[in-house]
Structures are given as C-alpha cells and as structure tokens.
Amino acid sequence: MRLSLQVQYAICGVFDLAYNGDGGAPIQVRVIGERQSIPPRYLEQIFQRLRRARLVSGKRGPGGGYVLARPAAEITLRDIVEAVEGPLDRMLGAGPPPRGPRVPFRPSFLWKRLADRVGNALEEVTLERLCREAARDAVKRAQDDSHSYVI
C-alpha cells in the first residue's frame, strides 16, 4: 500500500510539530515546510484539514502558527491518514459494490478486513512513539540549530 503524497506530507508536518514544538509555542507552516522540504502553500492546505479534524490548532497574528490540539500520545497515524484522505474503509474500497452489467466481482468482505488490519496497524503508532524513536535514533531537533545566549 502506498500512502498519497498529501498523507506523507501530513505525517511529516505533524511529526515536526510534535518533535520540535517542545515549549508549546506555535510553529509557522513556513518553518515546518522549510525543515521538511514541503512547499508551504501545499502544507497550509493540509494543515487546514488537520485543523478541521482537531489534530492541530492554529493561532493567528504575530507569533502565530500551529500547535498540537491533543497530546502526542493521543494522536495516531490513523488519525492523520483519515484527516487527509477520509475513512480507511472508503479509501481501501470497502464501500458498497458498484452496480451494473459490466462490473466485475468485488469481494467487499476482503476490503473491509484489509481496512481493519491497516487501521489497527496505524492506530498502534502514536506521535509520541515516533518522537521517542526519532530521539533514540538521534534525529536532530530544530532547537539544536539555535544558539543559546546566557547573560
């Protein structure tokens, strides 16, 4: 199964927000886009879907940007995929079979089972888990680039 580019960008964007958003300060989409090499205008559209799904919340104005709407331990990859693509069962063809004389047999029971299995696998992975694994693998955080000045 291949995830759409929008889903891949959404996962990267939300991961960046969780991994680099330590202080709870909003992070601008432009900054996330630069770090993840995602076009900011495209990422903004994706973040609007994530906001409607209540995975992120936005703050307008100077110092604005996005923050996670829930703790990273409560946001799963399934949440992100479904925020962008819709329910997994529809995405994997588990809806009602099409009708017509030339429609081939579609084993809808198979698509339902597949959607359940994929959904369960995606539900097992939280943002918190991804952040832990990234830290364990020594993935550099954005704050590592900043300079610390003490007076």
Count each helix (H run) and each strand (E run) in the chain, helices first. Answer: 7, 2
Q: Is residue 149 part of a domain?
A: no
Q: What is the pLDDT of residue 40?
A: 93
Residue 3 C-beta-side C-alpha neighbours within 13 Å: 20
Q: Is residue 151 part of a domain?
A: no
What is the domain range of residue 75?
A: 5-141
Q: Is residue 84 part of a domain?
A: yes
Q: What is the pLDDT of residue 79?
A: 97
134 near 72, Cβ under 8 Å? no
Q: What is the pLDDT of residue 98?
A: 58
Q: What is the pLDDT of residue 151?
A: 45
Q: What is the pLDDT of residue 115?
A: 83
Q: What is the pLDDT of residue 96?
A: 57
Number of domains in the chain: 1
Q: What is the pLDDT of residue 112?
A: 81
pLDDT tens, residue order, the chain (151 aa): 678 999 999 999 999 999 998 677 899 999 999 999 999 999 999 999 999 999 999 988 888 899 999 999 999 999 999 999 998 877 766 555 556 666 566 667 777 888 889 889 999 999 999 999 999 999 998 864 444 444 4
Q: Is residue 102 part of a domain?
A: yes
* Cα–Cα distance list, 133 to 15, 38, 71 (Å): 12, 22, 17
Q: Is residue 98 part of a domain?
A: yes
User: Which are the contacts of 81, defined by CB distance < 8 A and separation ≥ 6?
Assistant: 3, 7, 10, 11, 88, 91, 122
Q: What is the pLDDT of residue 147?
A: 41
Q: What is the CATH number of the domain that holds 81?
A: 1.10.10.10
Q: What is the pLDDT of residue 1?
A: 66
Q: Give the three-class secondary structure for 65.
A: strand
| Structure tokens that stand for 49 in this block | 């879907």
Q: Is residue 150 part of a domain?
A: no
For residues 91 and 57, what is the distance between their CA atoms, to the nearest angstrom? Answer: 25
The angle at the Cα of 11, spanning 10 to 15, to the nearest 5 degrees, equals 115
